[in-house]
Amino acid sequence: MKDQFFFNHNKMKHRLVVLGGGESGAGAAILGKEKGYDVFLSDAGRIQDRYKAELDSHGIPYEEEGHSREAILDAEEVMKSPGIPHKAPMVQEILQKGIPLVSELDLAYRFRADSRIIGITGTNGKTTTTALTFHICKHGGMDCALVGNIGFSIARQVALDPKPLYVAEISSFQLDDIRAFRPDVAILTNITEDHLERYEYRFENYIESKFKIVKNQTAEDYFIYCEDDPVTMQNIKRYPFNSNPLPFTMSRELPKGAYISNNRMTVSGRETLTASIYDFALKGKHNQYNTMAACLAASVVGIRKDKIREAVENFEALEHRMEPVMSIRGVEFINDSKATNINSTWYALESMVKPVILILGGVDKGNDYTLLMDLVKEKVKAIVCLGKDNTRIHQAFGKDVAVMANTDNMQDAVQACFHLASKGDVVLLSPACASFDLFKNYEDRGRQFKEAVRQL
C-alpha cells in the first residue's frame, strides 16, 4: 500500500519521532521502522528493559530520562503516546514549531490495508466488551487480533502480525489525538465522570473525547451505543455521526439493534438472534449490556448467530474483572480489582445476590461515595478498608455500615474479611480506587488478593 503521508523534505526518509517508550510508543516505533521511516524514540522517564531490547533488535535509536530538543524538533512528524498530555512542555514546543502530531491509532490506521477495525470505548465495560467481542469473532472463525488497551498496541500488531480484523479497546486518551482513524464498527458502552484531571475538570471535554470514536465514520460503518445511558443520549445529537446507528437497551423493543425483554436478548444485526440471559457466561445486569454490544458488533462483521450464541455461553471471565477465585467454607471470593472508579464498583455490587464483605480503598480520585450508598445499605454487611488513607470511606459509610476495619496490606485485608464472613457470604474486592498507594497496579493488587485467598 502506498503511504499517502510520506514526505520528502530533501531527506532520504520520512523522519518520525516517537514520544514515550511504553507499549504504544514501542509499537509505533516498530511500525514506522517496518514501513521505512527514519525513527527516533524519546522518553522523559525510564524505558522498561523489554522495550529497550525490542528497540535494539529493530535497530531503532532511543533515549530515556530526558528529551534531546534538537533531535525531536527535527522531526517531520511526531507520534505522541496517549499518556502524555498536550500541556507537557515538549509537546508544546512541537506544536509551536508546527510539526504534525500523529496518534498511534492514526499511524496504525495508515497501514491497515484492507483490514477492518472494531473500536470499543466507554468509561465502564469496555475491557469486558472488547474481550467478549474478540472471543465471539474468533469462535466464529475470524482471523482477528485483540489490541489497544488490552493485548498488544494496534501499531505493533499491524507491524508484526497483521490481521483481517482488529478488535481494539480504545481509551479517551487515545481518542484525543485522532485525525483520520475510522473504525468500521464503533462501540460506546457508556459515559460517566472519570480522568477529569486530564480534561481541565470539565466533564463536557471528556464526553467530547469519547464521541470522537464516530467522527470519521461513514454510511458504510456502524455505531453501537447504549440507549439507557443518560449521558450518551443527552449528548448524541451534539456530535453528529454518519454511520448506521445500532442502539442496545433494556427499556423497549427495537426494530434494529439489541434489547432484553422478559429475560431474553434479541439482537438484530445482519441476522436476528435470540438467547436467554440465563445462558450468558457473564452474570449481572452490567454484563447483559456488555453482551448485547458485543453480539451486535460480531453480527455486523458477519459472525453467524449460532456461533455468537455458543461464544456467549462459553466465554470465561477476565482476570481482575468479577473473577471468581474460590469458595472456602461456604464463603465465595471474587476479584474485581479492575474496579478503579465508583461506577465499576456500583456495577459489581448491583450484580451481587448474597451478603457482601466489601474491600474498598486505595488512591481516591475525588470519589463521590454517595453513589454507592443505596447498594451498600442493601447488600454490604461489612467494609474492610485497604489503603494508606481511609478517612473518606469512613466518613461516607461509618453511620450506615455496622462493621468497618482498616488494613494496609492484602493479607490482613483478606484475613479480616474471612473472619467477618459467614457461610453464604461473598468477599468482594472492588476497591473503587486506583491501586498505586500500596500496589504496582490493579493487576498486582488482584494477584495479591488471589494469593492471600489461597493461603487461607
pLDDT band at 12 (very low <50, low <70, confident <90, very high): low
Examine the pLDDT at 156 and tell me if it is beyond 80: yes
Model pLDDT for residues 400-416, shown as the tens digit of each residue: 999 999 999 999 999 99
First-to-last alpha carbon distance for the chain, in angstroms, is 57
C-alpha cell at 295: 453480539
Domain ranges of the chain: 15-102, 108-314, 323-455
Given a cut of 90, whether residue 149 has pLDDT beyond it is: no
Contacts of 39-45 with CB under 8 Å at 24 or more apart are 40/15, 40/16, 40/71, 40/72, 40/75, 41/17, 42/17, 42/18, 42/67, 42/68, 42/71, 42/72, 43/19, 44/88, 44/90
Predicted confidence (pLDDT) per residue in 425-453, tens digit? 999 999 999 888 899 999 999 999 999 99
pTM for this entry: 0.79
Mean pLDDT, residues 357-377: 91
* pLDDT confidence of residue 297: 98
Residue 454 pLDDT more than 60? Answer: yes
pLDDT of residue 264: 97
CATH number of 323-455: 3.90.190.20
| Tally of CA atoms within 13 A in the half-sphere of 407 that contains its CB | 19
Same fold, 108-314 and 323-455: no
Query: Per-residue pLDDT tens for 277-325?
Result: 999 988 888 899 999 999 999 999 999 999 999 999 999 877 888 888 9
Asked whether 317 and 106 are in contact (CB, 8 A), the reply is: no
Helix residue spans in 84-217 (DSSP H):
89-96, 104-110, 126-139, 154-160, 172-176, 203-211
> Where is 420: in which H helix or E strand?
helix 410-420
d(CA 24, CA 19) in angstroms, rounded, equals: 10
List, edge to edge, every strand of the sheet that includes 380-386: 323-328, 331-335, 426-429, 356-360, 380-386, 403-407
- Give the mean model confidence (pLDDT) for residues 229-238: 95
Half-sphere exposure of 236 (CA within 13 A, CB side): 18
Q: Does residue 99 carry a pLDDT above 50?
A: yes
Q: Classify domain 108-314 at the CATH class level.
A: alpha beta
Q: Dihedral through CA 389, CA 392, CA 397, CA 399, nearest 10?
A: 100
- In three-state secondary structure terms, 402 is coil
DSSP assignment, residue 363?
B
Does 4 have pLDDT greater than 50?
Answer: no
Best-predicted range by mean pLDDT among 149-153, 225-229, 389-393? 225-229
Q: Tell me the residue type at 192.
A: T
Residue 235 pLDDT level (bands cut at 50, 70, 90)? very high
- Chain-wide mean pLDDT for the chain? 93
| Poorest-pLDDT segment among 2-11, 39-48, 62-71 | 2-11
Length of the chain: 456
State the fold for domain 15-102: Rossmann fold (3.40.50)
